[in-house]
């Protein structure tokens, strides 16, 4: 008897999952591996220290692209995939679409609330509180994309909406005159740092102390539109993974789609430069292309070549017999939001706890590392790797106890 394609059978359960006597569908290992890699890299790049980290471990200062710029869009991309798999699993267990919509709204509100906590922990000074951020953007994108999927599970309308988001955002940035600056591409560049429509709108909503860069915010309101398209790319990939095509064909088409998105993003770059902080339409396409290539590579290595995996693991417990080669990443990938929360709150504590009247725990730790390493780049990287290891240790008990927290 042939085994079912794991790409069709896999599900991503929600809430808190514990081992039970009843059998549950297998998690798609390649997705958890890629999610773990994304979270690990996110923690590394978020916790660089010193004046000169490696260039690829910092965001592009404005236009352009670095490896760091791929982290957030890949996480949104994976959320799109998980939305398909988890929704299908819940519907198969008898949940109604009305129930799932309520569940979606609850999760979105919780993510937005947790984003406020992360942004303003531990003092919560309301005069300078930041409301935009990574988790609020995740919550909004998840709610919009999951709601669209509940309304209609077909793919054609999702393609149309993604295209509309990208072209609509470009049209707003290109043709709407910015008060005080003028018409983009005529009086000011389309990606002018402060004179673009996204930055201007953020300043109308919040005063400078509430914005991450004072004059603008990288997770601002208007740039959420193309980030929805990024999440839709993941949803479309999830729909494709659930088709009856062979796994090899799925991987090949995902890779082809990735190359196409890369090419279109690069072609759009001269007119609307690739820019993560504005989440330009070209950036959404370019980053989406890389996310598709990462996904296809992960599935090919983990689920087709089965590198580091036994010939058959269909009867294994869900988390107890994961191959050792993947376990370090699976610790983070199976509790991704929890790992992110621990890293962000932990980093805030490190900068809050004073070990001397003028030195925080973070600064003192970094100076101890930098004192023995002459390279500022390596000092920064070693500090962030040590912090990543600490976060990993804090998440490890959940993995060992087979507890997977889904916000």
pLDDT of 128-155, one tens digit each? 999 999 999 999 999 999 999 999 999 9
What was the pLDDT predicted at 405? 87
Determine contact, residues 278/191, Cβ cutoff 8 Å. Answer: yes
**Please, which pLDDT band fits residue 311 given cuts at 50, 70 and 90?**
low
- Across residues 303-331, what is the average pLDDT? 70
The closest of 175, 171, 215, 165 to 195, measured between CA atoms, is: 215
- Residue 295's Cα: distance from chain center in Å? 13
User: Which DSSP string corresponds to 186-220?
Assistant: TTB-TT-TTTSHHHHHHHHHS-GGGSTTSS--TT-
pLDDT of 386-404, one tens digit each? 999 999 999 999 999 999 8
Taking CA atoms, 179 is separated from 176, 187, 195, 202, in Å, by 9, 11, 9, 13
pLDDT of 214-227, one tens digit each? 999 999 999 999 99
Determine contact, residues 227/280, Cβ cutoff 8 Å. Answer: no
Contacts of residue 403, Cβ cutoff 8 Å, sequence gap at least 6: 16, 17, 18, 335
**Please, which pLDDT band fits residue 308 given cuts at 50, 70 and 90?**
confident
Does residue 185 carry a pLDDT above 60?
A: yes
């Amino acid at each position: 008897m042939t085994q079912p394609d794991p790409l069709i059978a896999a599900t991503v359960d929600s809430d808190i999952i514990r081992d039970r006597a009843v059998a549950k569908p297998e998690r798609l290992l390649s997705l958890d591996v890629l999610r773990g890699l994304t979270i690990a890299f996110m923690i590394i790049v978020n916790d660089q220290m010193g004046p000169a980290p490696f260039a690829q471990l910092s965001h592009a200062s404005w236009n352009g692209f670095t490896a760091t710029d791929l982290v957030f869009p890949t996480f949104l991309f994976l959320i799109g995939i998980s939305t398909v798999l988890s929704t299908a699993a819940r519907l198969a267990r008898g949940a109604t679409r009305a129930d799932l919509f309520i569940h979606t709204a609850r999760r979105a509100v919780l993510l937005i609330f947790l984003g406020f906590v992360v942004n303003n922990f531990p003092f919560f000074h309301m005069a300078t509180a930041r409301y935009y951020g990574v988790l609020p953007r995740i919550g909004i994108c998840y709610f919009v994309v999951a709601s669209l999927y509940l309304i209609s599970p077909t793919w054609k309308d999702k393609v149309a909406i993604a295209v509309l988001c990208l072209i609509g955002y470009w049209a707003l940035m290109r043709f709407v005159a910015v008060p005080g600056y003028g018409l983009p591409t005529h009086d000011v560049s389309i990606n002018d740092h402060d004179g673009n429509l996204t930055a201007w709108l953020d300043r109308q909503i919040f005063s400078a102390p509430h914005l991450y860069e004072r004059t603008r915010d990288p997770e601002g309101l208007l740039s959420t539109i193309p980030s929805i398209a990024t999440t839709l790319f993941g949803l479309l990939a999830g729909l494709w993974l659930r088709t009856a095509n062979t796994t090899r064909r799925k991987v090949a088409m995902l890779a082809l789609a990735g190359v196409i998105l890369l090419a279109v993003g690069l072609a759009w770059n001269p007119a609307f430069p690739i820019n993560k902080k504005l989440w330009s339409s070209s950036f959404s396409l370019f980053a989406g292309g890389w996310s598709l290539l990462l996904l296809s590579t992960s599935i090919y290595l983990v689920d087709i070549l089965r590198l580091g995996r036994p010939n058959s693991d269909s009867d294994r417990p869900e988390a107890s017999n994961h191959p050792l080669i993947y376990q370090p990443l699976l610790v983070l990938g199976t509790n991704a939001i929890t790992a992110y929360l621990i890293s962000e709150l932990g980093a805030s504590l490190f900068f809050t706890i004073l070990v001397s009247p003028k030195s925080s725990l973070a600064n003192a730790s970094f100076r101890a590392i930098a004192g023995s390493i002459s390279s500022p780049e390596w000092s920064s990287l070693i500090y962030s790797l040590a912090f990543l290891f600490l976060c990993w240790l804090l998440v490890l008990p959940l993995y060992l106890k087979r507890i997977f927290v889904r916000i």
